[in-house]
């Protein structure tokens, strides 16, 4: 069991829910000369992928929705990447093969560099700086990075899990915190199947892994909270109730206020 008694701060982030285009990139990405239209609307190309409500799209609106609701119910500060995640995955390291989707890898190198400069570095720097700021006041920080995952595997089988908690099992506090959250969720949301290090390992390339290299394990807990789109696609009222219970369970563990942060 996680027995932390020191003051703790909580930060919720979302890498993949943004949909805006940085103004300085509009001309580079616009399908027609001049970028925005006469009304000032953003006409940057949006890649049209096959839409399926159970598969995570490049712009993960469900993760953005969930991150906002969870932060609200557990009284956490929230940092979301507001820019288009179909341009770059800010959760990946710069050397990762999935940093850019295929249509962006085909762009000129100076355009890719501009995307990194305008979207990638500012977001990651903001998260790292906020964690540093928290640690000036609090003994340690629990960082929850929220994403969704496809309801089916690449082989077409249904995923056996509703919520995944991804962590580094070598970091004892991360392990203990996740075990305690599993127990809390067992009582507060018994209909959810919660799995640890699912649908992939918590040591895979991610924003939390990068932050672990910046902050020691006795002050930083980096957890990815992944949500199955099979239930994230349920009617909004039902989905909101479940997210509220998850948020309140998180608040219980972090001694955070369950009232909305001012």
Is residue 106 a part of any domain in this protein? yes
Considering the domain boundaries, does residue 2 fall inside one?
no
* Higher pLDDT, residue 165 or 24: 165
Q: How many CB atoms are located within 10 Å of the residue 246 CB?
A: 25
Predicted pLDDT of residue 49: 40
| Residue 44 lies inside a defined structural domain of this protein | no
Q: What is the mean pLDDT of the chain?
A: 83
Residue 60's pLDDT is: 82
Arithmetic mean of pLDDT, 239-250? 93
The CA distances from residue 147 to 77, 81, 135, in Å, are: 17, 12, 25
Closest CA to 22 of 122, 124, 114, 118: 118
Task: Report the pLDDT value the prediction gives residue 190, as an integer from 0 to 100.
Answer: 92
Decide if 220 is inside a domain: yes
Strands (E), 155-252: 163-166, 194-196, 220-228
Tens digit of pLDDT for each residue in 14-39? 998 888 999 989 888 865 443 344 44
Point out the least confidently predicted range of 50-54, 183-187, 204-208, 211-215.
Answer: 50-54
29 Cβ neighbours under 8 A, 6+ residues apart: 21, 44, 45, 87, 111
**Assigned domain for 3 exists:** no
Indicate whether 194 belongs to any domain. Answer: yes
Token representation of residue 134: 């928290």
Q: Which domain holds residue 216?
A: 8-25+54-254
The pTM score is 0.84
Q: What is the CA radius of gyration of the chain?
A: 19
- Does residue 43 belong to any structural domain of this protein? no
Number of domains the chain is built from: 1
Residue 29 or residue 87, greater confidence: 87
Residue, of 213 and 34, whose pLDDT is higher: 213
Question: Are 154 and 218 in contact, with CB atoms under 8 Å apart?
Answer: no
**249 domain-assigned:** yes
Angle at the Cα of 68 from the Cα atoms of 52 and 48, rounded to 5 degrees: 30
CATH number at 180 reads 3.40.630.40
pLDDT given at position 4: 46
Give pLDDT tens digits for 216-243. Answer: 999 999 999 999 888 777 777 788 899 9
């Amino acid at each position: 069991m996680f027995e932390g008694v020191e003051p703790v701060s909580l930060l919720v982030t979302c890498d993949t829910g943004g949909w805006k285009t940085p103004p300085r990139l509009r001309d580079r990405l616009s399908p027609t000369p001049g970028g925005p239209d006469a009304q000032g609307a953003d006409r940057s190309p949006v890649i049209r992928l096959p839409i399926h409500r159970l598969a995570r799209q490049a712009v993960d609106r469900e993760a953005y929705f969930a991150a906002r609701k969870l932060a609200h119910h557990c009284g956490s500060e929230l940092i979301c990447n507001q820019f288009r995640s179909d341009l770059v995955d800010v959760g990946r390291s710069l050397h990762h093969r999935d940093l850019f989707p295929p249509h962006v890898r085909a762009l000129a190198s100076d355009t890719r560099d501009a995307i990194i400069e305008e979207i990638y570095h500012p977001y990651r720097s903001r998260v790292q700086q906020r964690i540093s700021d928290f640690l000036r006041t609090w003994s340690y920080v629990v960082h929850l990075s929220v994403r969704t995952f496809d309801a089916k595997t690449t082989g077409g089988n249904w995923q056996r899990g509703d919520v995944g908690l991804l962590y580094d099992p070598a970091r004892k506090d991360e392990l203990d915190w996740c075990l305690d959250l599993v127990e809390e969720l067992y009582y507060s949301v018994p209909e959810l199947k919660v799995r640890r290090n699912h649908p992939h390992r918590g040591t895979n390339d991610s924003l939390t892994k990068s932050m672990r290299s910046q902050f020691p394990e006795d002050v930083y807990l980096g957890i990815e909270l992944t949500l199955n789109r099979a239930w994230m696609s349920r009617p909004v009222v039902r989905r909101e109730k479940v997210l509220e219970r998850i948020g309140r369970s998180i608040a219980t563990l972090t001694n955070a206020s369950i009232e909305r942060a001012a």
